[in-house]
């Protein structure tokens, strides 16, 4: 799908707003349905800036879905310099060559992604990954000499038993994030083949056990950060059972999750 991202710079020092009248018409007249193709990112150092808020609400009124880059571009660049470039990326061939990074589930701590990302050492290095949970049976550990691995050998099958894997993965992730006494905490990448089902169930199990979140709360959190996350129906049922084990009773109706289209129909 064609994708175009525009970074709208709010030049507040000049008290000018180059968005609604100048930028949007110049792009939307080229597209039959611009909502499918256009992402608007508003950035300014202060998220409560009146000009920024005005722009946000006017864009929303047009039926668009703007997002605010907290702290502005400089703050984003300081955290993720490897995701920034000084040049405009406009050609489809250039966009296809961009490196796609794992989803950040907990800031500076927990990431979820695919096998290809887990095998890309540049990604591992840039994210400062120290530990990896490999949920697959079919994909080897990429860098066992420099990273600590937990290999669970799960199949993406609704009948796969997760009773041992859920607490084992949660314990491994928690210990990695906590770090050794006197040492900084590590960073964990949880992956399966595509980063959709097996990795999601392990991430959710950790959030439920160590954040003490309900299944529904954990699902909402994960989906906001990784839209493609979707454990299969059997995994979802086992997560519900795990919720009952952790809290003594079920806090989440599976119908609430199904109604939100969170379920992978596998």
Domain extents for the chain?
Answer: 4-96, 103-259
Residue 87 structure tokens: 């040049």
Q: By CB neighbour count within 10 A (0-12 exposed, 13-18 middle, 19+ buried), where does 159 fall?
A: exposed
Q: How many CB atoms lie within 10 A of CB 243?
A: 23
pLDDT number for residue 174: 98
Cβ–Cβ under 8 Å, residues 27 and 54: no
For the chain, 266 residues long, give each residue's pLDDT as a single digit of tens: 333 343 433 333 333 334 444 444 444 444 334 444 456 676 666 667 787 787 788 778 877 777 878 777 888 888 888 888 877 776 777 777 889 999 999 999 999 999 999 999 999 999 999 999 999 999 999 999 999 999 999 999 999 999 999 999 999 999 999 998 888 999 999 999 999 999 999 999 999 999 999 999 999 999 999 999 999 999 999 999 999 999 999 999 999 998 765 554 43
pLDDT number for residue 93: 78
Strand residue runs (E) in the chain? 4-9, 38-43, 67-69, 103-106, 110-113, 131-136, 148-154, 188-191
Q: Of the listed 21, 55, 84, 192, which one is catalytic? A: 192
Distances (CA, A) of 154 to 65, 201, 250, 264: 37, 11, 25, 17
Domain topology for 103-259: 3.90.190
Helix crossing, 198-210 with 215-225: angle to 10°? Answer: 130
Alpha-carbon distance of 125 to 43, in angstroms, equals: 27
Q: Tokens 């709010």 label which residue?
A: 10
Q: Is 192 a catalytic residue?
A: yes
Kindly report the pTM of this predicted structure.
0.80
């Amino acid at each position: 799908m064609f994708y175009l991202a525009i970074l709208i710079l709010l030049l507040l020092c000049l008290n000018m707003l180059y968005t609604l009248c100048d930028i949007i018409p110049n792009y939307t007249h080229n597209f039959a349905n611009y909502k499918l193709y256009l992402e608007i990112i508003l950035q300014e150092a202060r998220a409560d800036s009146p000009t920024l808020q005005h722009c946000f609400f006017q864009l929303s009124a047009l039926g668009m879905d703007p997002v605010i880059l907290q702290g502005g571009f400089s703050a984003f660049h300081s955290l993720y310099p490897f995701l920034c470039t000084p040049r405009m990326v406009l050609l489809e061939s250039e966009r296809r060559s961009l490196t796609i990074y794992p989803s950040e589930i907990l800031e500076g701590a927990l990431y979820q992604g695919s096998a290809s990302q887990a095998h890309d050492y540049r990604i591992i290095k840039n994210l400062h990954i120290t530990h990896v949970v490999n949920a697959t049976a079919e994909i080897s550990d990429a860098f066992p000499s420099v990273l600590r691995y937990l290999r669970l050998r799960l199949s993406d099958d609704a009948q796969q038993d997760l009773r041992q894997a859920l607490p084992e993965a949660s314990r491994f992730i928690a210990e990695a994030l906590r770090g050794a006494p006197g040492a900084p905490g590590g960073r964990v990448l949880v992956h399966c083949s595509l980063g959709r089902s097996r990795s999601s169930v392990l991430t959710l199990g950790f959030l439920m056990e160590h954040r003490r979140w309900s299944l529904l709360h954990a699902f909402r959190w994960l989906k906001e950060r990784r839209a493609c996350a979707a454990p299969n129906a059997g995994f979802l049922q086992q997560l519900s059972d795990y919720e009952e084990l952790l809290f003594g009773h079920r806090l989440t109706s599976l119908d609430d999750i199904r109604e939100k289209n969170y379920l992978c129909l596998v």
